[in-house]
């Protein structure tokens, strides 16, 4: 039996290392989680449209029982088809992004191999409850997307996604007047739950509505590029 | 032969992160066709799978754990897997298991197999090699494969039918003596394969599992990958 010293190669076989085997910096991986219908796919599509001219991007979707998210992105032609991969999650979307990330890592690896070198990989979760978060072994940062139509009490209720995500997106602000939601109250509750962690209010129905998320992604990417070789 | 080791519990744990959770082992197709409807029919399904595909997988795993050439075993696994969908799934699961195992039990043998089969070797072959890296012997490897052959479908049916989880677990417990038997036969065949060649390994198959796997792969909407 061959025993490895755990400190010598802490990331050797785990794929969370910031470099590729050849020593170059791998793509920044950002996860998008949140309840079904909050606007994750719409955010991914908008990010691809606004960033694809400056960055080399690929997307992994985790559909629960169809390939609809991937097919939507393909239909909308936000990226060439070889840059979009769907992972099957076996009726358990949070397992695939947290407890057993092997299929997602494989998808990321295959995308790098087929279309790399990439700057950015977006991993969309299949949509789950408020407790679902991404493993740090899979993504470097995560965005949690909720929407105003889901009720203005979600930020107050908290949960790991709302409280710990690197960016909380409250989407569909255009619908706030119709569902009687108090955006200022949501912002206060989010602040109470998240402290200094950022919150973005978006309406993807508006022109360039994804701008706050795009700006945050650019910042993360700049930080990533600055720290890794 | 192997001594009792907790490493087997780590390896056979349903939470071992090697991709198995996305596979039903044919149970999703059987549920849809009305062949699995309750605990009793789940037990029949699992028994059939254990003594066919399960025995074959256990033989391959035991042989790899015993030190037979993994590439030869990979070809033997191809020969024992007529369904292209199941071949693809077995290689994909083998690749996922390799990833998890290289973190858990780093081994030059696993590195070499990963280099020779970057898209994945058949999962039972990888399983046997992982068992070897974990210090386990052929019998333990056969146990892991036999248990996997039935625990995967049982877990999937809990999700697919909302079957009482106690009932599903009772099915597994009732099958335990048969798993003992299958593992022992597989390990014994693996040792014979040293002298007689790979043809001594079990080659049981379940034609209905192969046929429904091909159909299932073409479903537009499904919960599990197989
Ligand atoms: N009004 C409005 N609708 C939106 C907004 N963002 C997304 N949607 C719509 O909400 C629905 C669900 O969005 P989708 O991105 O598929 O949600 P996902 O399940 O989180 O991926 C789709 O019909 C989108 O067009 C928004 O900002 N405003
Ligand atoms: Mg979606």
The answer to whether B122 and B91 are in contact (CB under 8 A) is yes
Smallest Cβ–Cβ distance between B106 and the set A13, A90, A103 belongs to A13
Annotated ligand binding at A125? The verdict is no
Q: What is the pLDDT of residue A16?
A: 66
**A68 to chain B, minimum CA–CA distance in Å?**
10
Smallest Cβ–Cβ distance between B21 and the set A13, A14, A92 belongs to A92
Alpha-carbon gap, residue B225 to B85, rounded angstroms: 10
Which band of pLDDT confidence, cut at 50, 70 and 90, is reported for residue B165?
very high
pLDDT above 70 (res A229): no
A177-227 pLDDT, tens digit per residue, is 999 999 999 999 999 999 999 999 999 999 999 999 999 999 999 999 988
Task: Note the residue count of chain A.
Answer: 229
pLDDT above 60 (res A30): yes
Q: What is the pLDDT of residue B3?
A: 66
Q: Identify the residue with better confidence: A21 or A113.
A: A113
Q: What is the pLDDT of residue A19?
A: 75
B67 CA to centre of ligand 2 in angstroms:
46
Instruction: Give me the percent of chain A exceeding a pLDDT of 90.
Output: 68
Q: Sheet of A57-63: strands edge to edge?
A: A84-88, A57-63, A120-124, A28-33, A141-147, A167-171, A199-201
Q: Which residue of B lies nearest to A110 if distances are taken between CA atoms? A: B119
* For testing contact with chain A, the best of B7, B15, B22 (most A CBs within 10 A): B22
Ordered domains of chain A (ranges, CATH)? 26-226 (3.40.50.300)
Which band of pLDDT confidence, cut at 50, 70 and 90, is reported for residue A1?
very low
| Mean pLDDT value across chain A | 88
Q: Domain B17-217 belongs to what architecture?
A: Orthogonal Bundle (1.10)
Which band of pLDDT confidence, cut at 50, 70 and 90, is reported for residue A14?
low
Q: Identify the residue with better confidence: A127 or A106.
A: A106
A67 CA to centre of ligand 2 in angstroms:
10
| Mean pLDDT value across chain B | 96
Alpha-carbon gap, residue B16 to B40, rounded angstroms: 27
Chain A positions in Cβ-Cβ contact with residue B160 (cut-off 8 Å): 91
Chain A positions in Cβ-Cβ contact with residue B100 (cut-off 8 Å): 102
B39 close contact with A: CB closer than 8 A: no
Q: What is the pLDDT of residue A8?
A: 43
pLDDT above 90 (res B144): yes
Q: Which residue of B lies nearest to A103 if distances are taken between CA atoms? A: B19
pTM over 0.80: yes
Contacts for B128 with CB less than 8 Å, ≥ 6 apart: B60, B61, B62, B63, B64, B65, B66, B70, B73, B138, B141, B145
Domain boundaries, chain B: 17-217
What is this model's ipTM?
0.84
Q: What is the pLDDT of residue A104?
A: 95
* Integer CA distances (angstroms), B211 to A9, A155, B82, B84, in order: 45, 49, 9, 10
């Amino acid at each position: 039996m061959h025993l490895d010293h755990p400190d010598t190669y802490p990331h050797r076989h785990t794929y969370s290392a910031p470099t590729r085997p050849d020593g170059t910096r791998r793509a920044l991986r950002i996860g998008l989680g949140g309840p079904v219908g909050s606007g994750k796919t719409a955010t991914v599509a908008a990010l691809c449209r606004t960033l694809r001219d400056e960055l080399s991007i690929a997307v992994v979707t985790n559909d629960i029982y169809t390939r609809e998210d991937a097919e939507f992105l393909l239909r909308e032609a936000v990226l060439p088809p070889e840059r979009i991969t769907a992972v099957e999650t076996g009726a358990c979307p949070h397992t695939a992004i947290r407890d057993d990330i092997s299929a997602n890592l494989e998808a990321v690896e295959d995308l790098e191999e087929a279309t790399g070198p990439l700057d950015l990989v977006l991993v969309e979760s299949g949509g789950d409850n408020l407790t679902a978060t991404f493993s740090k072994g899979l993504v470097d940062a995560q965005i949690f997307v909720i929407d105003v139509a889901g009720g203005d009490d979600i930020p107050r209720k908290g949960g790991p996604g709302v409280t710990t995500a690197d960016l909380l997106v409250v989407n569909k602000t255009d619908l706030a007047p119709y569902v009687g939601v108090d955006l200022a109250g949501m912002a206060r509750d989010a602040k109470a739950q998240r402290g200094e962690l950022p919150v973005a209010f978006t309406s993807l129905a508006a022109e360039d509505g994804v701008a706050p998320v795009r700006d945050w992604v650019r910042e993360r990417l700049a930080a990533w590029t600055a720290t890794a070789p | 032969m192997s001594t009792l080791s907790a490493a087997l519990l780590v390896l056979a744990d349903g939470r071992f992160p090697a991709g198995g959770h996305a596979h039903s082992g044919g149970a999703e197709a059987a549920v849809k066709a009305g062949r699995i409807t309750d605990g009793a029919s789940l037990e029949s399904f699992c028994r059939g799978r254990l003594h066919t595909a399960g025995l074959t997988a256990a033989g391959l795993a035991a042989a790899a754990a015993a030190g037979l050439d993994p590439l030869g075993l990979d070809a033997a696994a191809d020969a024992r897997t007529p369904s292209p969908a199941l071949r693809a799934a077995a290689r994909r699961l083998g690749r996922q298991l390799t990833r998890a195992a290289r973190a858990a039990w780093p081994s030059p043998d696993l590195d070499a197999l990963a280099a020779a089969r970057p898209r994945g070797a058949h999962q039972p072959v990888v399983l046997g090699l992982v068992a070897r890296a974990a210090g386990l012997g052929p019998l333990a490897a056969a146990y892991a494969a036999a248990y996997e052959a039935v625990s995967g479908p049982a877990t999937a049916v809990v999700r697919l039918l909302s079957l009482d989880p106690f009932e599903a677990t009772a099915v597994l417990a009732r099958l335990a003596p048969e798993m003992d038997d299958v593992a022992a036969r597989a390990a014994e065949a693996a040792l014979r394969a040293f002298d007689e060649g790979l043809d001594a390994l079990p080659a049981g198959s379940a034609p209905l599992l192969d046929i429904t796997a091909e159909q299932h792969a073409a479903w537009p909407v499904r919960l599990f990958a197989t």
